[in-house]
Amino acid sequence: MARRVAVVGGGAAGLAAAHRLRRELGPEAEIVLLEQTSRLGGKLRTVELAGRGYDLGAEAFLARRPEVLDLAEELGVRADVVHPARAAATVRAGGRTQRLPGGTVMGVPAEAESIAGVLSEDGIAAVRAESGMPPIELGDADISVGDLLRARVGDEVVDRLVEPLLGGVYAGDANRLSLRATIPALAKALDDGAGWVTEAARSSLPAPKPGAPQPVFGAFRNGYRELLDRLVLAADAEVRLGLPVRALARNAEGWRLEIGSAPAPEHLDVDAVVLAVPAPAARKLLQGPVPAASAKLAEIELASMVVVGLALPPGTELPERDGTPASGTLIARGERHDGGTPFTAKAFTYSSAKWEHLRGAGGEVLVRGSVGRFGVTEDLRLDDEELLRRVRADLAELTGITAEPVESAVLRWGGGVPQYGVGHLDLVADVEREVAAVPGLAIAGAALHGVGVPACVATGEAAATSITRDLLQPGPREVGR
């Protein structure tokens, strides 16, 4: 008997789920992909800038995880994966721009000497002083990154290194983000017996391997649209855009979705549902069928951000650091221009230096600036013209580049980044346990096990597999799939 499955949400997790459902359920299955906006891709967005496909959502993926590379291989686009050129990341902190130091785990130092160029003498002394403190005993508890590190190695490590790095991933506040969810390697080292933060960082650093180093990040030569287009084709789903799902309820045969706008919504009856939507939308849809999961999802906060793409004139010289091209600059919270004006941007990526394929069709130089931190909303309310002006002023302060862009783009991601607060792992385990108890329902997306593209793909594929199991082999599910 042919099965009918609804996938709610057309981002990376939803598309991965639809693709995996097609593979597992076969050509006879009816897969309906519902997306409330006018486009698929979620936070993956390739725009045309100076004649090039340029990603102004997620920029790259972690190549040390297998999910995106495996998917690219399966879809026939593995040859289009590219890796960064040799370039050095930098950080603006303490009024200076310095090379981002090595020997750290998400900015947490293995030893004081490795971060001497970024911290003051007092900051370095605070790191050294940790060795005289009693050992850390977390037990099974979670703690915020900021609370742990400020108490152990001082404020400067957090403000000048850790938060700029975490801000690039979560647009978040280190004082609120979960250690276990956002720096799991450090938490594991502490659980395994490391008694000091520096010791935990030291034991978490990857051991050197012979031969050329493996690339950390990957991207697609013509943007994520290459992957998205292939996923849509392979999923062979009925795609319905511009249709919000208003309600979800179980019925005798399976599930009924109320879709569209009042006063005449449409009803869609299906055998199973994958919810691959942001936490607030999932919370709303689960209020009836799984109220306990809905209540937990309500605890997840969101941050918004804006990405500004700039195509600068051919010949524009991007910055270097110690003779190596700079891949970008992270900007610590509270940094100011020499004249006292606060920075609006939190980071820049010098894309044409970081990625060899990213120059405009006419040789234009591509740069992207990111704006937005959790709890800071004033800059996000600026109109596009003023945001562009401020981001250009920040770029000029950091690099001296004042050239008028040949072309620019401003993309806003309202509520785009879930915040992994203290206790996030337990919260997600509770949500998944409640959802797993309801046959024919699964959940996926960035709110669960990671905001990066590989993590989102993994949740989508896991959700699809659990639905396949429910439809083809009914019986009790395993929790924590």
Rg (CA), the chain: 23
What is the predicted pLDDT for the residue at 268?
Answer: 96
H helical segments located in 111-263: 121-129, 145-153, 155-157, 163-170, 179-182, 184-191, 197-204, 225-235
Q: Which helix (H) or strand (E) holds 447?
A: helix 446-449
Q: Answer for the pair 88, 327: CB distance below 8 angstroms, yes or no.
A: yes
What is the predicted pLDDT for the residue at 207?
Answer: 77
Q: Answer for the pair 307, 413: CB distance below 8 angstroms, yes or no.
A: yes
What is the predicted pLDDT for the residue at 292?
Answer: 98
Strand partners, 30: 4
CA gap 275, 286 in Å, rounded: 9
Residues of the chain with pLDDT below 70 are 1, 211-212, 474-481
CA gap 200, 303 in Å, rounded: 29
What is the predicted pLDDT for the residue at 212?
Answer: 64
Q: Sort strands 88-93 and 324-331 into parallel, antiparallel or unpaired.
A: parallel
- DSSP codes joined into one string, 207-229: PP-SSSPPPSEEEETT-THHHHH
What is the predicted pLDDT for the residue at 117?
Answer: 86
Question: In residues, how long is the chain?
Answer: 481
C-alpha angle 330-336-337 in degrees, rounded to nearest 5: 100
C-alpha angle 429-435-441 in degrees, rounded to nearest 5: 140
What is the predicted pLDDT for the residue at 477?
Answer: 58
What is the predicted pLDDT for the residue at 206?
Answer: 82
Could you give the strand order of the β-sheet that contains 238-241, starting from the edge strand earlier in sequence?
238-241, 30-35, 4-8, 272-275, 441-443
What is the predicted pLDDT for the residue at 21?
Answer: 98
**CA distance readout (Å), 201 to 39, 89, 332, 366, 424:** 42, 20, 21, 35, 22
